Structure 1
Amino acid sequence: MPASSETSEQIEAAAAVWAMKDRPLSAGDDAQLRDWLAGDPRRRGALLRAQATLSSLDRAQALGAGVHRETKKPFLPVRLSRRDLLIASGAASGLSAAGLAGFFIGRRNDKAATAVGEIRRMPMSDGSIATINTDSAIQVDMTATHRVVDLVRGEAWFKVARNKKRPFVVMAGLARVQAVGTAFSVRRLDTGTEVQVTEGTVKAWLEDGDKPAIWLNAGDTAVLTPQGHVTRDHAPQAIEDALAWREGQIALTGQSLGAAAAEYNRYNQTKIVIQDPELAGEHLLGRFNADDPEGFSNAIAVAFDADIRHVDKTIYIGKKN
C-alpha cells in the first residue's frame, strides 16, 4: 500500500491521539486504528513511540487537542492490554543476512545453510528464488531435465521460475512437493512436513506411500506425516502470518506466551524461559521483531506485571507475587 502524504509531524501528532485513547478500544475505534496503521508504514513506529511516552500511566486517557502531560517517572514501555500488546511493533527486523546473498545457488549439488537467527534470500541458477529460514539447510541438484531441492532441515520458501520441461521438486524426508511457476514454503516438523502455498498450485505426496497425491492451491496449507496421515486447510491469513519470518518478524494470532517463547528461541541464541504456567498460557496478538528477545521480554514483563531475570544468555520470566 502506498505511503500517505502526511508529514512526519502530522503522523506523530495523530499517533499521540491514538495512544491516549482508553483501552480496550471500541469496535469502531479498533477498525479505524487498523486502517490508519495500514495507510503508511511510518505510523506503526510512531504509535509505539507515543505509547512509550505515556508509559508512566496505567493506561492512556482520551484527551482533547492541546493537553500536555508531564512525568518524572522512568521511561518504560507502556503497559498494554493483552489484545493490544505491541500492536504497533511492525518495524523491519535486522536479522543477519536477511537481504540478498551475493551468489547463486542451484548448480549441481550446491548446498546452502543458515545459522540460528540467520535468514537468506538467495537467487537460484534457474531464475527461482529460495528464502531460507533460521537454522535450515538445503541441497540443490539441477540438470537439463529436472530441478530437485532437498530440504535437509528447517524451512524454506520458494518462488519457482516457470519451466514445464524441468519439474521443480522439494524433498523433505518422505514428503515430495512439485510445482511449476509457483510460490510455496516447506517446513520439516518433528511430526511430518508442512506445506504452505502462497501462489499457484502444487502437488504433494509421500514417497513409497500408498495414498494418492494431493493438490494444493494458493492459500492452502497441509501437513503430511510419515505414517501417511494428511491434514489440510484453506487459511490464507494464517499462511501470511506464518511466513512473517521472511520479513524478520514473528506474527502471533492468539498463540500462548509459551508458544511465542518457543518461536523466539528458534531465532536467537538468547533463550526465553516462562517459569509460571499460568503466564505461559496467556494469549497474544501482534507482530514482533524476531531478533529482539530482550525487548519482547521487557514488554511482556510490563504488560503482565511479571518478574524478569537475565542469567547469561537466558531470560527467565515469571509472575510477580
Structure 2
Amino acid sequence: MAPTPVETSEQIERAASLWAVKERPLTPEDEAGLSDWLSGDPRRRGALLRAQAAWQGLERARALGPSHEWQDAVSTVKRLPSRRHFFAAAAAGGGLVAASLLAVFGLRQDETVTRMGEIRRLPMNDGSIATLNTDSRLRIDMAESERRIELVEGEAWFKVAHNRERPFIVSAGSARVKAVGTAFSVKKRKDGIEVLVTEGTVQAWAGKTGDPVLLHAGDRTILSEQAPVKIRHAPDDIDEDLAWREGQIALNGKSLSEVAAEFNRYNRIQIVIQDEALGSERLIGRLSANDPEAFSSAIVQAFGVEIARTDKAILIGTKK
C-alpha cells in the first residue's frame, strides 16, 4: 500500500516561519488559510508558537542590548530590512538564522517538553540537533568541558556536532551514551534503555560499574542493569523504527497490536483491537502518525473486520 504523504518537520518549521511574520491583524483570507493550515497536522501549532516566540525573544533582547552570546545573531538580523525578510531568509536558507535564535532563546531553558502528537526539532548552540518524539522530556546542560543531556522520559534522536574536547553524553535512568560526532537515538522502555545508532560510533553502558560497549552505525541494543548487553546489527530495522522523525509509523515487521500502541502515543483517539488473533497479524507500509483512521481503514480492507467509533476510540472487531 502506498504511504500517506506527510510533511517533514523542516517543511513545517519553514511554513510556520512564514505565517509568524504576516502582518497583524490578519486579513479574513489569511485567517481562514491559517486555520486550515493548523488543522492539517498537530505538529503545526507547536511550530507556529516556536516561530512567534523566536521573533518575540529577539525583540526583547534587542531592547535590552546585545550580549556576547547572541550578538552575532542580532547583527545578522539587523542587516535584514524587516521582520518578513528575516523569517523569509530563514526559511529559504534552511533556517540558519532561526536555528541561531532557537539555540539562544529556546535552549537556554533547563527543560524541553513535547506533548502528545508533537515532534520537535531542537538546534543546540554547539551545532548539534535533537529531535524529540511525542510525550518526551529533555534536559540540556552545555558545560564548557562536556555536553550533558538527560532524557527524562520518551525518545529522542541526536545528530551530534563533532568536538573531541567536549564529549556529548546522554543519560536516561542509569544508562549512559557517550559520543563525539555521530547520530543515534535513545528511548526509555519498560525493559531498559534502547539505543539505535544511525551514524558513527557511540560508547554505551548501564549503571556505575557497567562495562562500556561500542555501538556502530546500524547497531541497536537495550541497556539494563538486570541483563547483559546484546548488540544486534539491523540498519533496515533502525530506519523503520525512526520513521517517527518524519511523522510516520512503519508497519513492517510489527504486529497490529504493536502498531496500534504506536498510534495511541500520538493521538487522543485511541485504537482498540478487540480480537487477539487479529492483533498478531501484520501489514507492510508506512502511515502518517496522526492518521489512525487510515490505519483502521487498512485493517478493514485487509481483513474485512467491523469497526465501531466513539468520540474517544476506534474499536476494531473480530477478524472474518
Normalized against structure 1, the TM-score is what? 0.69
Deviation at 1:176, TM superposition (A): 0.1
Deviation at 1:90, TM superposition (A): 4.2
Rounded Cα–Cα distance in structure 2 between residues aligned with 1:189 and 1:139: 18
CA contact (8 A) 1:95 1:290 kept: no
Question: Sequence identity, in percent?
Answer: 52
Task: State the partner residue of 1:222.
Answer: 221
Task: State the partner residue of 1:143.
Answer: 143
Deviation at 1:295, TM superposition (A): 2.0
Rounded Cα–Cα distance in structure 2 between residues aligned with 1:206 and 1:274: 35
Task: State the partner residue of 1:174.
Answer: 174
Deviation at 1:227, TM superposition (A): 1.4
Structure 2 unmatched ranges of 5 or more: 8-40, 52-101
Deviation at 1:259, TM superposition (A): 1.0
Deviation at 1:303, TM superposition (A): 2.1
Deviation at 1:287, TM superposition (A): 0.7
Deviation at 1:299, TM superposition (A): 2.4
Alignment of 1:231-310 (within 5 A): 231-310=230-309
CA contact (8 A) 1:95 1:119 kept: no
**Which AA in structure 2 matches 1:208?**
K
Deviation at 1:92, TM superposition (A): 1.1
Structure 1 unmatched ranges of 5 or more: 1-86
Task: State the partner residue of 2:88.
Answer: none
**Which AA in structure 2 matches 1:282?**
E
1:283 is paired with a residue of what secondary structure? coil
Which deviates more, 115-124 or 224-233? 224-233
More helix by share: 2
Deviation at 1:187, TM superposition (A): 0.3
Deviation at 1:99, TM superposition (A): 6.0
CA-to-aligned-CA distance 1:221-261 (integer Å, 9 cap, x gap): 11111314212100000000000000000012121111111
Alignment of 1:109-188 (within 5 A): 110-188=110-188
2:122 is paired with a residue of what secondary structure? strand
Aligned alpha-carbon RMSD (Å):
1.7
CA-to-aligned-CA distance 1:121-165 (integer Å, 9 cap, x gap): 110111100000000000001111110000000000000011111
1:312 aligns with 2:311: yes
Deviation at 1:296, TM superposition (A): 1.4
Rounded Cα–Cα distance in structure 2 between residues aligned with 1:172 and 1:305: 42
CA contact (8 A) 2:278 2:319 kept: no
Rounded Cα–Cα distance in structure 2 between residues aligned with 1:254 and 1:95: 27
Rounded Cα–Cα distance in structure 2 between residues aligned with 1:130 and 1:163: 16
Deviation at 1:298, TM superposition (A): 2.1
Task: State the partner residue of 2:43.
Answer: 96
Rounded Cα–Cα distance in structure 2 between residues aligned with 1:146 and 1:156: 19
Normalized against structure 2, the TM-score is what? 0.69
**Which AA in structure 2 matches 1:183?**
A
When residues 167 and 281 of structure 1 are mapped into structure 2, their CA distance, relative to the original with a 3 A threshold, is same
1:144 is paired with a residue of what secondary structure? coil
Rounded Cα–Cα distance in structure 1 between residues aligned with 2:267 and 2:155: 16
CA contact (8 A) 2:287 2:294 kept: no
**Which AA in structure 2 matches 1:91?**
P
1:204 is paired with a residue of what secondary structure? strand
More strand by share: 1
CA contact (8 A) 2:207 2:225 kept: no
Task: State the partner residue of 1:23.
Answer: none
CA contact (8 A) 1:106 1:142 kept: no
2:251 is paired with a residue of what secondary structure? strand
Rounded Cα–Cα distance in structure 2 between residues aligned with 1:276 and 1:169: 43
Task: State the partner residue of 2:208.
Answer: 208
Deviation at 1:275, TM superposition (A): 0.5
**Which AA in structure 2 matches 1:92?**
V
CA contact (8 A) 1:168 1:179 kept: yes
Deviation at 1:120, TM superposition (A): 0.2
CA contact (8 A) 1:275 1:318 kept: yes
Deviation at 1:311, TM superposition (A): 1.2
Rounded Cα–Cα distance in structure 1 between residues aligned with 2:319 and 2:206: 49
**Which AA in structure 1 matches 2:153?**
R
1:193 is paired with a residue of what secondary structure? strand
Instruction: Report the number of matched residues.
Output: 233
2:296 is paired with a residue of what secondary structure? helix
Rounded Cα–Cα distance in structure 2 between residues aligned with 1:320 and 1:259: 17
Task: State the partner residue of 1:71.
Answer: none
When residues 99 and 196 of structure 1 are mapped into structure 2, their CA distance, relative to the original with a 3 A threshold, is farther
Rounded Cα–Cα distance in structure 1 between residues aligned with 2:179 and 2:158: 10
1:254 is paired with a residue of what secondary structure? coil
2:150 is paired with a residue of what secondary structure? strand
Deviation at 1:110, TM superposition (A): 2.2
